[in-house]
Structure 1
Amino acid sequence: MKYEDIPLVNNEAIHHFELTVDGISSFIDYKLRGDVVYLIHTEVPEEMEGQGIAAALVEKAFVYMEQHNLKMVPLCAYIQTYLKRHPEWTKLRAVFE
């Protein structure tokens, strides 16, 4: 991963996982309910698109969720596509009885 040295910021005040590259922030908008994270929307500013930032952001968010024993509901189309390419992360999907 290209951005391994850049830390993920969990901005709990505004429900964003954030990754700042060259002073420009990209984010995943989420809602937390108990131990389930609803991943709503991934946004990378236009001038930063095509550099692998969204993929790095999603992977860092997944690692964070795994470390904090959280499950996810991927509502974001980008994250759904990412999961198809990286099925190893489907283990984080929340299962509702």
Structure 2
Amino acid sequence: MSDDLFSHNPAKSRYELEVDGLIAFADYQRSGHRLVIPHVEADPALRGTGAAGRLMTKVAEVARAEGMRITPLCSYAAAWLRRNDPELIA
């Protein structure tokens, strides 16, 4: 497996994690000091590899660095935040 490539794609309002040419992404909307995450999705070939979790780790790092909290509308994002970074939940 190659290295993960994390990027911000403002044109699509999403954060992306590329793994071996495949994409996992988290759509977002900014609302004041909140990052609203309505949807997280991974390419079917990435499911079960932990790619979505690695993506959420990076999204949480960005939110923390920018002094933002996260409002997860997506059930995956909500569950990940409850397990891994509950203090970021807004």
Same fold by TM-score greater than 0.5: yes
How is 1:9-88 mapped onto 2 (pairs within 5 angstroms)? 9-86=7-84
> 3-state SS of the aligned residue for 2:62?
helix
Aligned residues: 90
**What RMSD in Å do the two structures reach over aligned CA positions?**
1.8
> 3-state SS of the aligned residue for 1:20?
strand
Structure ranking higher in strand proportion: 2
Shift in Å, 1:13:
1.4
Uncovered stretches (5+) of structure 1, i.e. residues with no partner: none
Cα distance in 1 for partners of 2:8, 2:68 equals 13
Report the TM-score, using the length of structure 1 for normalisation: 0.83
Percent pairwise identity: 30
Uncovered stretches (5+) of structure 2, i.e. residues with no partner: none
CA contact (8 A) 2:71 2:89 kept: yes
Task: Give the 4+ runs in structure 1 shifted more than 4 A.
Answer: none
> 3-state SS of the aligned residue for 2:49?
coil
Shift in Å, 1:27:
0.1
Shift in Å, 1:65:
0.7
Cα distance in 2 for partners of 1:36, 1:14 equals 18
